[in-house]
Amino acid sequence: MSEQAVRMSEVGGVEVMTLNSISLEAPGAGQVRVRQHACGLNYIDIYHRSGLYPLPLPSGLGLEAAGVVETVGEGVTHLKVGDRVAYVSAATGAYATARVLAARELVRLPDALSFEQGAAMMLKGLTVQYLLRRTQPQGGLQAGDAVLFHAAAGGVGLMACQWAKAMGLRLIGTASTEAKCALALEHGASEMILYSQQDFAQRVRELTDGRGVKVVYDSVGASTWEGSLRSLAPLGLLVSFGNASGPVPPVALGQLAAAGSVYLTRPTLFTHLNQAGAAAAMAEDLFSMVLSGSVRIPMGQRYALADVQQAHRDMEARATTGSGVLLV
């Protein structure tokens, strides 16, 4: 059966993405075929398209989607035809009308969650889960602890604001406009810093009576690196998990000593998901937070699959808020 999928044969601008007809084979052992209803949009898709994160070419794009199991391969016992599912996969190719995937990558999507929510929440929501639950400083995080979260009005950031509030954390966020600061505050941030007009590291010190924060969660990269170090309390943890402004320059270990014997990590979601049993447990935690109302999915822009180029233009221009999706 002929399907449609976004493909690229070279890296570059949005023009390298084209909507192509493809043929899918029947699922093999341990695989399922999913009829997709919505595909998640994430900044990492731009890294893949531009070549910052190199892919073998030609390649598909997109890491997450939600839909319905259409065909089940041999040996698959935990899923059946008709199941509503969502996934995030290390293999690109989610921008498509249908897909064949390893069954272990899929989790059942609760009936109370829409396909759009499912597609928009897996990568960002599981990222927040591993950051706040699994990537913690010495002694862990307790209610009242202060953390700094950059890009707090983005898809990951808005979920993090809510999740941190549910944990009792004092989340100090940064954003580029007053409107984005207001949005993050509405979603649970304790304080916001307009980094385009303020020295965020200095402001963090003011807000914490000079102590600094226990953790900085930094997805911005090059432009925030120095300030993030200056925002940490002694023995704090800098979590660098993205490069929206470009990659972090090479690190001199002496910088960590000078910042107060701080810790530095560069984690990835898929390192966590590849641990035995982690995907199901992490998804259960995420779904529980959403279904309880502690975290709501901040749905943003919706685009047709054929409008993928415009979707990427908007993301690169920082003209989006919340979690965007491609509708199939």
Instruction: Express each pLDDT in 203-215 by its tens digit.
Output: 999 999 999 999 9
Q: Are residues 258 and 313 in the same domain?
A: no
Query: Using an 8 Å Cβ cutoff, are 85 and 107 in contact?
Result: yes
117 with 142, same domain?
no
With respect to residue 128, please indicate whether it lies within any of the assigned structural domains. no
Same domain for 6 and 24: yes
Mean pLDDT of 300-307: 94
Domain count, the chain: 2
| pLDDT of 142 over the 70 cut | yes
- Residue 130 domain-assigned? no
Residue-level pLDDT at 299:
85
Same domain, yes or no, for 167 and 56?
no
Domain final residue pick, 221, 251, 266? 266
Q: Are 6 and 112 found together in one domain?
A: yes
Q: Which of 225, 246, 266 is the last residue of a domain?
A: 266
The whole-angstrom distance between residue 141's C-alpha and the CA centroid of its chain comes to: 21
Structure tokens given for 193: 């810093």
Final residue belonging to a domain, choices 251, 266, 281: 266
pTM higher than the cut 0.75: yes
Q: Are 272 and 134 in contact (CB under 8 A)?
A: yes
- Same domain for 141 and 256, yes or no, is yes
Over the stretch 236-269, which tens digit does the pLDDT of each residue have? 999 999 888 888 989 999 999 999 999 999 999 9
pLDDT 10s digits, 115-134: 999 999 999 999 999 999 99
Tens-digit pLDDT profile for residues 32-47: 999 999 999 988 899 8
Q: Is residue 145 part of a domain?
A: yes
Residues 97 and 194 in one domain: no
% the chain with pLDDT above 90: 85
Where in the sequence is the domain holding 74, given as residue range(s)? 2-122+270-327
pLDDT band at 322 (very low <50, low <70, confident <90, very high): confident
Residue 158: count of CB within 10 angstroms of its CB? 30
Whether residue 297 sits in one domain with residue 244: no
Residues 143 and 113 in one domain: no
Q: Is 303 a domain residue?
A: yes
Q: Are residues 289 and 305 in the same domain?
A: yes
Confidence at residue 263, expressed as pLDDT on a 0 to 100 scale: 98
Residues 250, 237 within the same domain: yes
275 confidence band (pLDDT: 50, 70, 90): confident
- Least Cα distance to 61 among 310, 299, 308, 267 occurs for 308
Question: Averaged over 66-74, what is the pLDDT?
Answer: 97
Across the chain, mean pLDDT equals 94
Report the pLDDT averaged over residues 170-199.
Answer: 96
- The reported pLDDT for the residue numbered 69 is 98
Whether 211 is in a domain gets the answer: yes
CATH of the domain at 180: 3.40.50.720
87 confidence band (pLDDT: 50, 70, 90) = very high
What average pLDDT does range 57-69 have in this prediction? 97
221-235 pLDDT tens trace: 999 999 999 999 999
Q: Let me know: does 100 contact 131? Beta carbons within 8 Å.
A: no
Q: Within a domain: residue 131? A: no
Claim to verify: residue 12 and residue 117 sit in the same structural domain: yes
CA 155/CA 325 separation, integer angstroms: 11
Confidence (pLDDT) at 6: 98
In the chain, pLDDT over 70 holds for what percent of residues? 100
Instruction: Answer yes or no: is pLDDT of 11 > 90.
Output: yes
CA dist., res. 212 & res. 136, Å (int)? 15
**Least reliable range by pLDDT among 37-41, 170-174, 193-197, 316-320:** 316-320
In a domain, 79, yes or no: yes
Cis amide prior to 58 (ω within 30 degrees)? yes
With a cut of 90, say whether residue 64 has pLDDT above it. Answer: yes
**CATH assignment at residue 81:** 3.90.180.10
Q: Is 78 a domain residue?
A: yes
Residue 1 pLDDT > 70: no
